[in-house]
Structure 1
């Protein structure tokens, strides 16, 4: 049995890592070769206090941003680190199931492991993705450690595994179900390969790892939160466990709908239907049923459970969670695809290889749709920002040395014929998000170099809201004004939620 040092220096592992990273580059080439900002990154680019991650319970992300990548909003490097994390995780998984020389099929399946479309919903955020790659590698390391029986000091090894798993969860809480899925997947593949182990004991060990990692995470979370009073209203609003007991049918329906969308059964989630994915799931399940020489039903049940585990958090969140939270789903789908493509039945393996090629092609279609939408909205926002500033600069009394607060009424939507998934920010303009958010727009324009603009105070909003509500809509003449050091612009007809609140405050005075 290999020692930890052996796996690090084995020449075949180095070659495999290079090949796998090349596959990652092929799947994410458009992401690696561009720099398209997503909503929230205009704020992250100016952030000097990374304790916002602690408020969200993500103290591992805080440590990474605080000490490793102070400003993660950058091209190439952030998604490249994610790729390195995926490669490291895949090699650890392959080693755990005693696959030291990767076949063509195993290389091909890596495309699902690292680029199943749910990943795209988190890859779009530069501020998250590098840390998520590190979390992916830490998760796989935890599973690898508890599976290497031949390594001495099992007790201390388990503690290291718990620390690695806990750190992964501290980067993104969705790694908790992902570690469970990964552990079950490795156990299923080991049993299928005939490795002499007890599947039931392996599952108990994985459960203990997840439980220990959760405790490690919770202790760290309590420690880090004791140093800050910040709270995340958005993060706290997601969890509504009582809603399930009040409306179990509604939550169940929402979870099933989310599963169908995430597995590509409709075009609402990704913009295309991934019709080959359910076929691969069926072929993978059939392969496992036919090839397993022992505990057939237990293996199949464990594999099927992997498809449901990533949606467990949905039950605690009234059935609604962003697609980016499904970190464990690519692993679960990869398990079934891997089973199908490596089937001992030649007919199944050939059909599965063809279907895998179809899925990879469809993933590229999804990726390129997103890239086209990002490119066009970036052009739109850049030109709109320039037009706004040009008109502002042409106004009488404008002083380039003075900083102006920006108040906004309504938003200006970006119209495109490319898919704009509802759980994503891709294809949405900085000038339309939140119905027109003055702080977001000001931050975005400052990123472009229009440095003498800033967001408004509540007093400045209330001072200008009535006038804003009567101005013509951009780009009509009079849709932009300067008043007492405040730049007013009406971008849309419909008031945002913040606009309505300001109008209500003024009306109540």
Structure 2
């Protein structure tokens, strides 16, 4: 078992690797869509409505204002480091070699993580959830742990709390459990394969029950619903359109594991090759259980997509927290293979993969930087135009009614399942409920979102105004600022036009 003295230096080294992988994220403060709402949030109960009561507790008592630079991604990094050290201890690694350090970069920096790291309001809690996942499996990894022991009950509580932070940690528990079982078996240690897998399943069931109890208790105090969250649950769609769902899941798997460029916008051809080499190395090294272990390893690649089948085949990339663990498993097996040829080839591929991941990260950072500049300048230009309107009073509050959007165009990749590279002035087709709080964050504190009645009162006139940046694209009517950014109305304004047409 790792002792306090034996973990300090590895922890420092691992965190240094995390900093290298996420330096651009740690050194900047680029707001993503949704952060403009989270920055003004005073009631964390939104997490309870989404079934994430653990995230509620973290925001309520630990990080009440999570939209901040440096700290929240650093907490995520600390969670990654602590989780990795627990995993290394579970598989019997007393000292970390270059291979363990190099593979940590995949564990914490596989690009599917980037889709949640872009949200300051989520990432610290996710780091804690990853630690809880690893802690649960570390607690049951010893041979003398039975489902009736206090150690096992502690594992259930840790796993349940991880799920309460993000429900996607449920499949991640299974993925990491499979990884630990495979690596223990490969080293000739740990529980028997069947017993280890059975205990992991018991842990997952117990953690799910613990989560459900906490969810029932918290929801009794905070009733309500979330349309977006509930839209992700469509189990009936699978039975009505199974071929469509399977096709969507297959497409998602291909994008996530870099079989195409649809997810990251950049080719990561080294990743599929690493997966192949890792699978081949495992098949070679376990003559008696090669089929079982290799099959279990490839199943771990599919487990993170289990929730896709309940969501009509589509889930956000940020929800796939088990994917980096599965990819890490294959990379680790490959670079520590007993076959020298596989080991050398895998080391080269791992170096290439890490470089490609940095390309993805830096492309995202470039897009974030440029869209931030665009939005800051556009917000200032709109406010300057407003302040030049006759009758404008800087001490007076104005609701802004915004028609259309102002897209940000860049030659850098804009991943379709990410907010990176997307402007606050284009999201939702131009949503004043987002634009107003974003501008307030920049210091334009007298701007508010419009009421439905104010939208109805202004939508027809807005539709006839010229679009930005033409003269006349900004007006003031009493306490409402009218801004036309584009010719195509958002869904909200389409509904307003339809309501008026039906009167």
TM-score range, shorter chain: over 0.9
Q: 280, 289, 292: which is aligned to 1:295?
A: 289
Q: Which moved more, 1:51-60 or 1:226-235?
A: 226-235
Q: Which residue of 2 aligns with 1:113?
A: 107
Indicate the RMSD between aligned Cα atoms, in angstroms: 1.1
Instruction: Name the CA distance, whole Å, in 2 between partners of 1:236 and 1:294.
Output: 46
Q: Which residue of 1 aligns with 2:73?
A: 79
Contact 1:13 1:100 in 2 (8 A): no
Q: Which residue of 2 aligns with 1:195?
A: 189
Change (3 A) 1:212 1:294: same
Deviations 1:454-503 (A, max 9, x none): 00110101010111110000110100000021000000011110110001
Q: 13, 20, 25: which is aligned to 1:26?
A: 20
Instruction: Name the CA distance, whole Å, in 2 between partners of 1:400 and 1:500.
Output: 31
Deviations 1:348-388 (A, max 9, x none): 10000000000000000000000000000000000000000
Instruction: Name the CA distance, whole Å, in 2 between partners of 1:152 and 1:284.
Output: 31
Map 1:49-448 → 2, pairs under 5 A: 49-149=43-143, 155-195=149-189, 197-448=191-442
Structure 1 residues not aligned, in runs of 5+: none
Instruction: Name the CA distance, whole Å, in 2 between partners of 1:134 and 1:168.
Output: 7
Is structure 2 residue 451 aligned with structure 1 residue 457? yes
Q: Which moved more, 1:35-44 or 1:499-508?
A: 499-508
TM-score, normalising length: structure 1 = 0.98
Instruction: Name the CA distance, whole Å, in 1 between partners of 2:401 and 2:143.
Output: 63
Instruction: Name the CA distance, whole Å, in 2 between partners of 1:332 and 1:501.
Output: 44
What is the Cα deviation at residue 100 of structure 1? 1.3
Deviations 1:61-117 (A, max 9, x none): 000000000010000000000000000000000000000100001100001000100
Tell me, what secondary structure is at the counterpart of 2:149?
A: helix
What is the Cα deviation at residue 508 of structure 1? 1.7
Instruction: Name the CA distance, whole Å, in 1 between partners of 2:147 and 2:48.
Output: 33
Instruction: Name the CA distance, whole Å, in 2 between partners of 1:244 and 1:471.
Output: 45
Instruction: Name the CA distance, whole Å, in 2 between partners of 1:152 and 1:445.
Output: 56
Instruction: Name the CA distance, whole Å, in 2 between partners of 1:495 and 1:332.
Output: 43
Change (3 A) 1:425 1:14: same
Instruction: Name the CA distance, whole Å, in 2 between partners of 1:72 and 1:230.
Output: 23
Instruction: Name the CA distance, whole Å, in 2 between partners of 1:248 and 1:301.
Output: 24
Instruction: Name the CA distance, whole Å, in 2 between partners of 1:471 and 1:394.
Output: 18
What is the Cα deviation at residue 505 of structure 1? 1.1
Q: 24, 42, 48: which is aligned to 2:42?
A: 48
Tell me, what secondary structure is at the counterpart of 1:405?
A: strand
Q: Which residue of 2 aligns with 1:475?
A: 469
What is the Cα deviation at residue 229 of structure 1? 2.1
Instruction: Name the CA distance, whole Å, in 2 between partners of 1:30 and 1:327.
Output: 21
Structure 2 residues not aligned, in runs of 5+: none
Instruction: Name the CA distance, whole Å, in 1 between partners of 2:485 and 2:190.
Output: 66
Deviations 1:272-316 (A, max 9, x none): 111111111111111111111432211111111100000111111
Deviations 1:228-253 (A, max 9, x none): 12211100011111111111111111
Change (3 A) 1:210 1:153: closer
Q: Which residue of 1 aligns with 2:482?
A: 488
